[in-house]
Structure 1
Amino acid sequence: MIVPVTVLAPSVRVQTLYANVYLLSSPAGRLLVDAGAWPYAGRFDRILRDFAPDAVLLTHAHVDHSGGAYRAARRGIPLLAHTLEYAQLTGEIHDLPYPAGRPEIGRMVSRAHPKVSADALQVVHPGETVLGWQVVSLPGHTPGQIGVLLDGVLVAADAVIGAKDGAHLPKAAYNADHVQARQTLQRMAEMDLRALLPGHGGPLTPGQVRKRAGRREG
């Protein structure tokens, strides 16, 4: 079920396809952020049909966020991503930190997922504006992770995780560079935001993110 994030403007809706998929509408057009996990590809395809996005932005290459991307490529919808994520999105490499401590299983999981061709991808850089949303660099979880920002609302990918007890970082084993992930969390805590929309879990307040950034452990 597609759920409106009613406290926010511009229009933001979310559907959870294991990871959160955000449907963003602005006067500049319709942007879909992330593609969900492969087992939900049929549902993602229906979102593509019904929402008719002008582009799909992939925050990072992990398969729970890019699993349905091949469906968008089949429809000819532009796929936007940071170049540092290309090798995993196309299947040139298969580095996946899930499950923790079992890289051989992670590689098997990655190989089992449909990939996209390099021709289907378009480069997007931090600082650019895509359909009204500013692209923001959020490295650490992966080297090229990005989010988008508009009117104080940051779609933050896996730079932060939402939970009932507040904001969390992904576990160190799941981050390409955990020190950098902590630095990104601190930078988000210092931004002038109204809300943060994580890759997993519900919306977070700036206060929740500042509280998590103030913890020394993890």
Structure 2
Amino acid sequence: MTAFPADLLSLEGVQIRRMYANVLLLSSPQGRVVVDSGALPYAPAYARLLRQFRPDAVLITHAHVDHAGGAFRAARLGIPVLAHPLEHPQLTGERHELPYPAGNPQMGAIISRLHPKVPAQALTAVEAGQEVLGWEVVHLPGHSHGQIGLLRNGVLVAADAVLSAPDGRGGMRAALPHAPYNADHAQALQTLRRIAQMDVRIILPGHGGPLTPEQVRERAERET
């Protein structure tokens, strides 16, 4: 069972859509932001979502194609696309580094090249400590070097710094992407431990449902 109220997300102006990876719709008094853009097969649905939600910006947590596959749709609609500068080369197609399928970087590069890219002029750089429409940018490196999340009122958007997975007992547990999928696995472990020490009420991973701080701390303790 989760330890947070079922309506906490709606109270904080958070909606979750699953487009292979989670796509989050965040509303605050400062405006609206959509976090991530799902996988490429969901691009038409993502474009419809953008037209309906009418965000002020789209923030891409990291450039992996399951999170950035529809980002080109936001650019075509004239919506600013925000990302950490370290992720820009992959978003624009200047570089093609993809950690999956695991152990086959050549295939990963081919997969990356097959995805539509975001024009450089559509991208805006954001870094740790900046504010995006009422949310604080948090750097969460390890899964990718420029992975970022957002923090507001004890709600942490954690991208793939932590995942939610079945625990085999009918519940969920916090998990970490396997080492071959992380740009720097040691750094990913450090980021997980840092999240476990943060004063938050709920963690929203890039895959799966919300996690409690207790679930993340349990996972971090197993990694020590």
The TM-score, its normalising length taken from structure 1, stands at: 0.96
Distance in structure 2 (CA, Å) of the matches to 1:207 and 1:130? 27
Which of 67, 70, 77 lines up with 1:68 in the alignment? Answer: 70
Matches within 5 A, 1:205-216: 205-216=212-223
Percent identical: 64
Aligned to 2:92: 90
Cα shift readout 1:47-90 (whole Å, capped 9, x = no counterpart): 10000000000000000000000000001100000000011000
Cα shift readout 1:150-197 (whole Å, capped 9, x = no counterpart): 000000000000112200000000000000000000000000000000
Distance in structure 1 (CA, Å) of the matches to 2:22 and 2:83? 17
Amino acid at match of 2:174: A
Amino acid at match of 1:36: G
Aligned to 1:188: 195
Amino acid at match of 2:95: I
Distance in structure 2 (CA, Å) of the matches to 1:86 and 1:20? 20
State the 1:117 CA deviation.
1.1
Distance in structure 2 (CA, Å) of the matches to 1:176 and 1:125? 19
Aligned to 1:203: 210
* Count, aligned residues: 213
Which secondary structure does the structure 2 equivalent of 1:214 belong to? helix
1:109 aligns with 2:116: no
Cα shift readout 1:187-215 (whole Å, capped 9, x = no counterpart): 00000000000000000000000000001
Aligned to 1:17: 19
Matches within 5 A, 1:75-154: 75-154=77-156
Amino acid at match of 2:143: H
Which secondary structure does the structure 1 equivalent of 2:32 belong to? strand
- The 8 Å contact of residues 189 and 223 in structure 2, kept in 1 or not, is answered as no
Amino acid at match of 1:197: L
Aligned to 1:6: 7
Amino acid at match of 1:87: P
- The 8 Å contact of residues 165 and 174 in structure 2, kept in 1 or not, is answered as yes
Which of 180, 188, 202 lines up with 1:173 in the alignment? Answer: 180
State the 1:125 CA deviation.
1.1
Stretches of structure 1 lacking an aligned partner (at least 5 in a row):
none
Cα shift readout 1:126-152 (whole Å, capped 9, x = no counterpart): 101100000000000000000000000
Distance in structure 2 (CA, Å) of the matches to 1:150 and 1:7? 13
Amino acid at match of 1:41: A
Distance in structure 1 (CA, Å) of the matches to 2:104 and 2:162? 23
Amino acid at match of 1:106: G
Cα shift readout 1:96-138 (whole Å, capped 9, x = no counterpart): 0110001111011000000011101001111011000000000
Stretches of structure 2 lacking an aligned partner (at least 5 in a row):
1-5, 168-172
| Alpha-carbon RMSD | 0.9
Distance in structure 1 (CA, Å) of the matches to 2:190 and 2:127? 19
- The 8 Å contact of residues 37 and 67 in structure 2, kept in 1 or not, is answered as yes
State the 1:216 CA deviation.
2.8
After TM superposition, where is structure 1 displaced by more than 4 Å over at least 4 residues in a row?
none
